[in-house]
Amino acid sequence: MKFSLFFQNDTIAFLPELFLAISILVVLMHGSFLGLSAAALYTYLTPSMIRLTSIILFISAFLVINNPIESQTLWNSIFITDHLSIWLKLFVVLGLLACVSVSEAYMFSVRLRAFEFFFFIISICLSLCLLISSYDLLSIYLNMEFMSLIFYVLAAWKKNSYFSAEAGLKYFILGSVASVFFLFGASLIYFSMGTTNLGSLGLLTENLAGCSPLFYLGLICLISALLFKLGSAPYHMWIADVYEGAPTIVSLIFASVPKLAIFAVVLRLVYTSFWCLFPVFWEDFFCLCGLFSLFIGCVCGLGETKIKRLLAFSSVGHVGFLCLGLASGSVEGIQSVLFYLLIYMLTAIFLWIYVLHLDLTSDNSFLTFSDVIGLVRSNPVFGLGIALMIFSLAGVPPLGGFFAKLNIFVSVIDSSYYLVAIFAVLTSVVSAFYYIRLIKIFYFEKAENWFYFAPLTKGAAFFVVTIGWTVIFFMLSPNLFYLLIYKIAIGLMI
């Protein structure tokens, strides 16, 4: 670490994270001093917290974009800043901004009176930003644990619901096991290589002829832990229960932002540090996980009648596509993965905002198909937007999701994985069935009783419209996205 440039490089590059860390303390103090009486907690603490958190996230988005430091490692090579980290941090912050803005009505309805929720959201932002910039196995582990501990608490937030407690406990136990595997794998790699720094690992494995089996075992443990956090098969067992049991605002956060950060870690591991092992290890592994995830996502989704579990299994399927994109091993592969992540995050936020408002109107927390009938009569425009978003998830042209899948197919066929592509096509068609079944329920069925849908708040409406326009009319001007993704991908490959 260059001590002389400590304040010129490292601190400046970490301004967003420092700002977030200080704002955590500010939020904590604001909440504890204002929340002295129960009346204050209920009436004006939550809206003021929402506004405060939104401002904090907005400012940190500005700080992230205006990072003057170009690609270099920071803080004794534990962290790195490059294009990937800047843009993914921006998307994470914007995603969390969306989650915070839509939470007002839900917090009032569910009587979530604790201000610590917003403290946790900013902590999630901090941990994800740190995770995206991590360049060392230990720092990845620490930030991943930081993120996961917050998620475990958030999943168990609803104190009067057994399912929330079950979700939190399941997530905690399984997630801790996964983190332990990560640590074990990291220790095995340290044992074989002598360093935990991703850049040094890349240099050391550059011309490796053969590795000891312990090294492969370490890699498998490492990547399995990361895939567990993503919810890829064969580590998908926790996703459905956790997404269903957790309070819906928490499921919205789960579904949208962590995948970006963990995929950043996976991309760095695969393409920077262990790149030369690619044809030996990574491509088979990711192909297998991808195909298995696609299969699980399409088969399990067919049998589901509860909306939240359906969306959880569909996210397993999408992680399958992302793994296939990783397996291709080219710049198109990275481009397709990043692009798909972005489109998936937007679509997930849109759909989970819809599920959030469904949750507000229904009596119990289990949203089945019978709860969604009749949206088209009460909110025709929103219903059309939801239908088009579901078509985008299914991958039907000319919506944004199709272009994401097209890129993945381009990268897969570029690496000549024809059978993999055919299998992906077949699972796409089968999963398209349960997507259009949802649309069938919206549009084609008659509701027995009058359907009431909670009106969207201003924040929710703003994000719904922006995301809707981006995904539905993506085809009109894709240049911006493609050039941005290209810049990021090239930065990673070098």
Closer by beta carbon to other proteins, 413 or else 461: 413
Which amino acid is residue 333, in one-letter code?
G
Contacting residue, 51, 76, 380, 487, with other proteins by CB under 8 A: 380
If one asks whether residue 228 binds other proteins (CB under 8 A), the answer comes out as no
Contacting residue, 106, 171, 402, 463, with other proteins by CB under 8 A: 402
CB 261, CB 128: distance < 8 Å? yes
If one asks whether residue 450 binds other proteins (CB under 8 A), the answer comes out as no
Total of residues contacting other proteins (CB under 8 A) = 35
Candidates 68-76, 148-156, 254-262, 383-391: pick the segment binding other proteins (CB under 8 A): 383-391
Contacting residue, 41, 276, 299, 396, with other proteins by CB under 8 A: 396
Closer by beta carbon to other proteins, 303 or else 398: 398
If one asks whether residue 433 binds other proteins (CB under 8 A), the answer comes out as yes
Candidates 91-99, 105-113, 303-311, 440-448: pick the segment binding other proteins (CB under 8 A): 440-448
Closer by beta carbon to other proteins, 360 or else 413: 413
Query: How many Cα atoms are found within 13 Å in the side-chain-facing hemisphere of 259?
Result: 31
N- to C-terminal Cα separation, the chain? 22
Question: Counting Cβ atoms within 10 Å, is residue 129 exposed (0-12), middle (13-18) or buried (19+)?
Answer: buried
Instruction: In whole angstroms, give the CA distance from residue 427 to residue 169.
Output: 32
CB 390, CB 434: distance < 8 Å? no
If one asks whether residue 410 binds other proteins (CB under 8 A), the answer comes out as yes
Give the shortest CB-437-to-other proteins separation in angstroms: 8
Question: Counting Cβ atoms within 10 Å, is residue 39 exposed (0-12), middle (13-18) or buried (19+)?
Answer: exposed
- For residues 337 to 376, the per-residue mask of contacts with other proteins, x marking binding by CB under 8 A and - elsewhere, is ---------------------------------------x
- How far are the Cα atoms of 85, 155, 232, 246, 301 from residue 164, in angstroms, in the given order? 33, 6, 22, 5, 22
Contacting residue, 21, 406, 447, 461, with other proteins by CB under 8 A: 406
If one asks whether residue 59 binds other proteins (CB under 8 A), the answer comes out as no
Give the shortest CB-353-to-other proteins separation in angstroms: 22
Q: Which residues lie below 8 Å from residue 228, measured CB to CB, with a gap of 6+?
A: 174, 175, 178, 181, 235
Contacting residue, 288, 384, 447, 465, with other proteins by CB under 8 A: 384
Candidates 38-46, 91-99, 142-150, 480-488: pick the segment binding other proteins (CB under 8 A): 480-488
Instruction: In whole angstroms, give the CA distance from residue 382 to residue 374.
Output: 12
Candidates 195-203, 217-225, 395-403, 458-466: pick the segment binding other proteins (CB under 8 A): 395-403
Candidates 76-84, 131-139, 141-149, 411-419: pick the segment binding other proteins (CB under 8 A): 411-419
At how many degrees (to 10) do helices 162-193 and 137-155 cross?
Answer: 170
CA 471 to chain centre: 17
If one asks whether residue 208 binds other proteins (CB under 8 A), the answer comes out as no
Site for other proteins in 9-28 (CB under 8 A): none
Contacting residue, 47, 194, 303, 397, with other proteins by CB under 8 A: 397
Count Cβ atoms below 10 Å from residue 164 Cβ, excluding itself: 22
If one asks whether residue 490 binds other proteins (CB under 8 A), the answer comes out as no
If one asks whether residue 482 binds other proteins (CB under 8 A), the answer comes out as yes
Give the shortest CB-125-to-other proteins separation in angstroms: 33
If one asks whether residue 303 binds other proteins (CB under 8 A), the answer comes out as no
If one asks whether residue 434 binds other proteins (CB under 8 A), the answer comes out as no
Provide the token pair at 123.
């902590």
List, as own/partner pairs, every contact residues 235-240 make where C-beta atoms lie below 8 angstroms and the sequence separation is at least 24, other chains included.
Answer: 235/178, 236/293, 236/296, 236/316, 237/174, 238/170, 238/171, 238/174, 238/175, 239/312, 239/313, 239/315, 239/316, 240/300, 240/304, 240/309, 240/312, 240/313
Instruction: Measure the CA dihedral 291/281/140/144, to 10°.
Output: 30
Q: Residues in the chain, how many?
A: 494
Contacting residue, 12, 138, 165, 432, with other proteins by CB under 8 A: 432
If one asks whether residue 484 binds other proteins (CB under 8 A), the answer comes out as no
Provide the token pair at 187.
């220790």
CB 291, CB 423: distance < 8 Å? yes
Contacting residue, 108, 280, 365, 414, with other proteins by CB under 8 A: 414
Contacting residue, 51, 440, 458, 487, with other proteins by CB under 8 A: 440
Instruction: In whole angstroms, give the CA distance from residue 406 to residue 348.
Output: 19
Give the shortest CB-444-to-other proteins separation in angstroms: 5
Residues that bind other proteins (CB under 8 A): 376, 380, 384, 387-388, 391, 396-398, 402, 406, 409-410, 413-414, 418, 421-422, 425-426, 428-429, 432-433, 436, 439-440, 443-444, 475, 478-479, 482-483, 486
